[in-house]
């Protein structure tokens, strides 16, 4: 069902996303954890599909992403890759899997061999060395800043990041440092909209936001949040695009249209 054909669409690459930023065209991103959702997103206008370690929360029913393993990520990457033909496939490096450059390379290589086109990791600081090491070895990297769920215990919960002047300045510096280390994309989670927009304008690489305002170059949601299946308390930035529509495909298309039209996220879904 998910095998390729001779009529393969042109794949989305980092160069594609960079051209979208340059042209002022929004990047549409969603998470997926299986082949069926991968195919659904791929066929309905999504540019960037992330196999997130959020699978720990929404698939495995865990309270945090910390127990998710590299084996988990490889399994779900292989599944999603069978459904994706066009979109860029990104996969999270889970907690403690990139504690040093060599370990990060070994684990990232497994994800690339499983079908990833880019790996995502959280934070800056010592992670900058890891980003540089991976890029020097031809593994594209998406840096994740702001609220970093793998650091939930260290930062004291799921809170907006960058509200205080010192924290905002650190976020600016970290974003630039990630770009200079070789990150091809920077993702911001739960960052004040004005700050994320300011940093987006200062970077040459594309940014993708989740709860970070409409001025990021693209937007991402957990696919279950996008169709109203959020477990527990719904995040402020989540919006049910299935409401009032009769198909999952219609919901994905509505989300993609809203991102490209800059009507999502609204001020209500931003900080």
Q: Could you give the percent of the chain with pLDDT greater than 70?
A: 97
Q: Give me the pLDDT at residue 3, please.
A: 40
Question: Cβ contacts of residue 142 below 8 Å, gap of 6+?
Answer: 90, 118, 119, 120, 121, 183, 184, 185, 186, 187, 208
114 pLDDT tier (thresholds 50, 70, 90): very high
Residue-wise pLDDT for 21-35, tens only, equals: 999 999 999 999 999
* pTM greater than 0.85 (yes/no): yes
Nearest Cα residue to 47 out of 66, 28, 34: 28
Average pLDDT of the residues in 187-207:
98
Span 14-269 CATH architecture: Alpha-Beta Barrel (3.20)
Residue-wise pLDDT for 66-89, tens only, equals: 999 999 999 999 999 999 999 999
The answer to whether the CB of 239 falls within 8 A of the CB of 264 is yes
Alpha carbon distance 117, 126 (integer Å) = 23
How many alpha carbons fall within 13 Å on the CB side of residue 244?
5
Residue-wise pLDDT for 218-227, tens only, equals: 999 999 999 9
Q: Give me the pLDDT at residue 232, please.
A: 79
Say which of 25, 122, 136, 189 is annotated catalytic: 189
Q: Give me the pLDDT at residue 231, please.
A: 76
Residue-wise pLDDT for 234-260, tens only, equals: 899 999 999 999 999 999 999 999 999
* Residue 62 pLDDT exceeds 50: yes
Alpha carbon distance 51, 33 (integer Å) = 6
Show me where the domains of the chain are located: 14-269
Helix, coil or strand: residue 192: coil
* Residue 53 pLDDT exceeds 80: yes
Q: Give me the pLDDT at residue 230, please.
A: 85
Q: Give me the pLDDT at residue 9, please.
A: 87
Alpha carbon distance 27, 219 (integer Å) = 6
* Residue 5 pLDDT exceeds 80: no
Could you identify the residue written with the tokens 């490096």?
A: 93
* Residue 1 pLDDT exceeds 70: no
Which of the pair, 220 or 1, is modelled with greater confidence? 220
Alpha carbon distance 81, 100 (integer Å) = 27
215 is catalytic: no
For 35, 131, 233, 257, the CA distances from 107, given in Å and listed in that order, are: 22, 13, 32, 35
* Residue 6 pLDDT exceeds 60: no
């Amino acid at each position: 069902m998910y095998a390729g054909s001779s009529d393969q669409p042109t794949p989305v690459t980092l160069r594609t996303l960079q051209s979208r930023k340059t042209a002022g065209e929004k990047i549409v991103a969603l998470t997926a954890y299986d082949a069926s959702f991968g195919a659904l997103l791929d066929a309905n206008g999504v540019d960037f599909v992330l196999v997130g370690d959020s699978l720990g929360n929404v698939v495995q029913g865990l309270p945090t992403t910390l127990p998710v393993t590299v084996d988990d990520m490889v399994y779900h990457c292989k599944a999603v890759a069978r459904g994706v033909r066009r979109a860029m496939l990104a996969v999270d490096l889970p907690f403690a899997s990139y504690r040093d450059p060599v370990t990060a390379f070994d684990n990232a290589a497994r994800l690339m061999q499983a079908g990833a086109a880019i790996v995502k990791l959280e934070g800056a600081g010592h992670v900058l060395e890891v980003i540089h090491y991976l890029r020097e070895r031809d593994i594209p990297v998406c840096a994740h800043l702001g609220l970093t769920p793998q650091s939930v215990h260290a930062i004291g919960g799921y809170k907006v990041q960058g509200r205080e002047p010192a924290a905002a300045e650190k976020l600016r510096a970290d974003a630039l440092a990630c770009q200079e280390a070789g990150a091809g994309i920077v993702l911001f989670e739960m960052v004040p909209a004005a700050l994320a927009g300011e940093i987006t304008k200062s970077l040459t690489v594309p940014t993708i936001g989740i709860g970070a305002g409409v001025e990021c170059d693209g937007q991402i949601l957990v696919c279950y949040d996008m169709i109203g299946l959020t477990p527990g308390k719904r995040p402020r930035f989540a919006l049910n695009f299935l409401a009032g529509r009769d198909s999952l495909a219609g919901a994905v298309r509505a989300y993609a249209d809203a991102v490209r039209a800059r009507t999502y996220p609204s001020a209500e879904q931003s900080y």
